[in-house]
Structure 1
């Protein structure tokens, strides 16, 4: 297999963590792009992912892009049912949380941390407080849902970490950054879950050298 990633992406982090968690890291070639300088914008990579975005995975004649499907594919390839349930009810729960994080939770969170952490780190100007405030309104709405769900649970599907945690928790490093303005103290179950996730060995191993390096 060959995995295309960048050091600057929570989406790459979730796939790299899944690769390590499932034991595939040693047998997978990893190609890292400097996306800030457009290294991925080649015709060779367009044949892998016509969107010219990472992460992307090749396995034989399969070209697969988008982080969440890649993680599911890796889990199924490993037969890791405890990480990504294959029974109908378990699989639909995974898909529900993955859809939710893309459409709602991490969309709002991503807007906040882009303005507060990533833009200053990359020298792209001062944070736009109006955009932050708009994103915070949505974040409060969806963080409350996650906080209530995590009450009495260590991880999203129960006692053990699963692919759902890697998906919903993809932006953990930036959310925990002290200048992020993410109001995690208002959502103690979310904050505690982020800290538990950061302690999972495969997740810990993929932590950015500095949280600001995890920008999309």
Structure 2
């Protein structure tokens, strides 16, 4: 009957992935964004990402061999949060505080519930994520100044996201999550440079989130 649980979880994920893009404009701080809900082709594109991504992460979180139902639920919730953050970053190049700050608090509250990492691991992961986020933010600012561009691929929202990822996956898994995310972002950057030239700007957050999702779903291999 395990496959029924996976299907049910995937169905719930698909419903959430369908619903969130229609209301994600409420998460933005900027009034212009809040007053402009996604519709038409834009809404379709966001759902084309969020529905399959949410369904897949939920189904995989409840696949056979997971430690227990509670841990599967925590994994699914963490992955859904990262999908939601990716959707807003794809949409407006924004990682809303309304998603990140509650996620940070929830990660700390859930720390004692994991069987695969200790509270110490989670706090160390958060500290490492914070340090890495600050370092990458400084490097991104320097790179933007060198290119004489106000637009940089890496911003303060991405730094907050890395801190959140550190709290979700803990130490030493944060290192693997960042490596996966940076490699994915690097591949996308290379393709965009080839297609659009050096002035191409893209969202970094979804690829950092993807690296974290891989580690969360296969924690026994990468944690």
Structure 2 length normalisation: TM-score?
A: 0.33
- Larger strand fraction of residues: 1
TM-score with structure 1 setting the length: 0.33
More helix by share: 2
Higher relative contact order (CA 8 A, sep 6+): 1
